[in-house]
Amino acid sequence: MSVSYRQPGVVLTDRRFTVPLDHANPSGETIELYAREAVASDRTSQNLPWLVYLQGGPGFGANRFIGRPAWLGRALKDYRVLLLDQRGTGASTPANRQTLPLRGGPAEQADYLTHFRADAIVRDCEAIRPQVTGGAPWTVLGQSFGGFCTVAYLSLAPEGLSTALITGGLPSLDAHADDVYRAAYPRIERKVVAHYARYPQDVERARRIADHLLTHDVVLPNGYRLTVEAFQSLGILLGGGEGSHRLHFLLEDAFVRTPRGHELSDAFQEQVQGLLSYAGHPLYALVHEAIYGQDARPTDWSAERVRAEFPRFDAAKALAGDEPLLFTGESVHPWMFDCDPALRPLRETAELLAARTDWTPLYDPARLAANEVPAAAAVYHDDMYVDTGHALTTARAIRGLRTWVTDEFEHDGVRAGGPRVLDRLLALARDEA
């Protein structure tokens, strides 16, 4: 039974759907999807076209907006919006350390998680679309990994789309995870260098914290073991428009003087555990590299292996000399499954996923080359999370796709400049710009 309620300027309705776990076996096991319908409060009786929003990730539920912030207010001028919690996320059937043991042991859990990639998400959308739109095609807005899903949508079921809009999410059509991370580490280093140019005092602050972590065993209040590698991974902040400033404020008051000497402050530790814990989005860690698996090659902890090719990220070597500590970014490593109590029970499951050799293609280059769906993509000029070179190569491979390449925003442009970003993409897709 659907439940509707009001927020400022918007009417929301909870929607629930049942879909097959494996769309190749429609009579088999099912899972539940949750989505939140949003419509402008002064347009509830109007027959509006639909826009489905696919969140970034993988592993994150759709935004829990209050009112009409970011891009939503612009979307509600033209559409009813469906904020979909992709399978395994948000209020959809969860996949985490508490629920995955219901599947059985690590092997059964790994098999289950192979059904949580972009192709399954597209099939979910097609399964629920007739119930939402009455069968009419809808517009999809895909942010980051949601953009990967949108390219998969154009490959697998373009007949379900009236328009495809992508922000910071054009994937390589054929790159292995190793290729993705070989492109990523130099880009991450550029972001760190830019951060230190803005906040030169952070060079010594970061080195001091890293040195402390190399010589002390620090366990955060939630049980997370804070190693120097975990500290470096806070560089994920640098991919957002406000990220450099947030990292600076985090570092500036890291230590407090105690009877035992200087220690990392409770306030610092509280903030860090909130940033590093995967308790709210474990799928991100479990299937992150699997989103790049498209053939018989295992991903095999690609980010960890490729990092060894970039010795400047080695904290011990940096501290032994006078080099600044380099932060890392959007990558998943095996040590995370030792440090994070939300991931520890899933370490063997993650190992099995990393070793799989039966991944199937997610994109259809021939179908994309013949695309007829109006499509537009925002490509951020030096996006830390998605390689610009890979994105532009893919843009050229999708017939009719129009791109807006900009350095005005970082990866979170659809949030930071949402109304303007969405307005620009709609104009491009409609040939109005």
Just list the catalytic residues. 144, 358, 411
User: Residue 163 and residue 150: Cα distance in Å, rounded?
Assistant: 10
User: Residue 314 and residue 86: Cα distance in Å, rounded?
Assistant: 36
Kindly list the strands in the beta sheet with 161-167, ordered across the sheet, starting from the edge strand earlier in the chain: 3-7, 10-20, 30-40, 80-85, 50-54, 138-143, 161-167, 375-380, 402-406
Give the burial class of 179: count Cβ atoms within 10 A of its Cβ; 0-12 exposed, 13-18 middle, 19 or more buried.
middle
**3-class DSSP assignment, residue 4:** strand
Contact 124, 149 (CB under 8 A): no
Contact 302, 355 (CB under 8 A): no
Here the tokens at position 257 are: 């003087």
- 170 DSSP assignment: -
Contact 203, 324 (CB under 8 A): yes
Contact 19, 25 (CB under 8 A): no
Continuous H helices in 360-431: 365-369, 388-397, 413-416, 418-429
Burial 201-222 (b: 16+ CB within 10 A, else e): ebbebbbbbbebbeeeebebee
User: Residue 238 and residue 332: Cα distance in Å, rounded?
Assistant: 16
Here the tokens at position 273 are: 């555990």
